[in-house]
Structure 1
Amino acid sequence: MELTAAQIDIIVRTVIERVRSMSAGAAQDPLPNAPSTVSSSTLELAHSLVTLESLRGRLDGIQTVQVPPQAVVTPAVQDELRQRNVQLLRSKPASTPQSGPPSQLLVLAPAEMEQHLASQVAQAGGDFCRSTQATKADLSQIELHIHHPAHRALWCTDQPFAAQVACLRSQHQELRAVQISGLADIQQAVTEAEPSVLILNQRDWTTAAIGNALRAWNRSTLQ
């Protein structure tokens, strides 16, 4: 599937912004720390990757958007907030380690799955993100997410083989992707490959089965 001009622009701008931020170092982060309290004019997000989709229909009356300390905010989001005169803040890092899964999880799946899958993703300690249905654009989102060795992503797509080839061609050193066909594959995949990305064929998985896969993956990484 070919990328549109808009998708290519988003990817290029995101990569450039990411390279600049990495070169500048964490000490030069332009976003101030947010206060401990959140008012009604503040939108608080828990996403590790903040895209325009994360903000859709949620900015009316909002003066401040608060994101986690290590969240990746796309340039398109920064432009949108700037145009709306909305301030972007990073929340203060937690003083004590949080319980739950030891890594941050991103689930990339088609929009039609969101209604039934988003709550299960949240229960598993992850963030749901709508896929673009364009393999290269989706891979870019995953590469941004797994910049930290402990970050993981589950990619549910109707083009699993194209997704697998794209992952194999990726130069991202933290990207280790495997395709699984059922729950029984998860433990073996973790043992043999320690994957940072699980690829699922959308045609073979229900939202309930994906929820079970997330829980099984969490259990496997804790063993």
Structure 2
Amino acid sequence: MSTKWEQELDLMRQSRREQIMNAAYELVLENGLISITIVDIVKKAEISRVTLYKYYSSIHEIVFDIQIRILNEMSDLLGEKLKGKNGLEKLHDYFATFVRMYQTRPDYFRFAAMFDQFYQSSYPTPELEERYQSFTKQGIDLIEHIIEEGRVDGSIRAETNPPMMAQILSHIMMGTTQRIAARNEIYKTESKVDSEEMLNYLADFLTTSLAAAPSQA
């Protein structure tokens, strides 16, 4: 059992990490990933470079921690809201929660879009790659489980391939939401369709397209 001092030390360390991540997060949203430096982060966080290096050895580690924190929050929220009675209803709950996240946390998707673009061809280290992929796998596994549940209970088309469809649905929802979030101001002027309405329509369309025919249910 840890002592009170050790618990306080852990809280202090976590608070400092959060301070560094929050500073980097704001800088990325303001200037993009390619532009920020360690010097920028320590100035924004109001700490010394020595202090920062006690917690992180590179910008990559900070950025990956931010992205994983975002994915964790998304995963927690999505998991809590799946109240549907069958697989299809849970899938619709998943999409609806995804849309609500865009409404309340659009900058999460802006950050994720910049992250995906910056690391589009490779990961900085095998360790970061393994850690990050373990989190993304959780999201895919959740969708795959919902689809399989729907196939079993008869609410989702029996011929649906859960692993394949989980990947497709994840890319469609995340990719569309990221693009809208990243270009939101321009999108308002170049489109006659409201972005939130479009995401809700997409969620309904994807759900309906996977619904089993009445004779199968």
**Normalized per residue, which structure has more strand?**
1
Shared fold (TM-score, shorter chain, > 0.5): no
TM-score under structure 2 length normalisation: 0.27
Larger RCO (CA under 8 A, 6+ residues apart): 2
TM-score under structure 1 length normalisation: 0.27
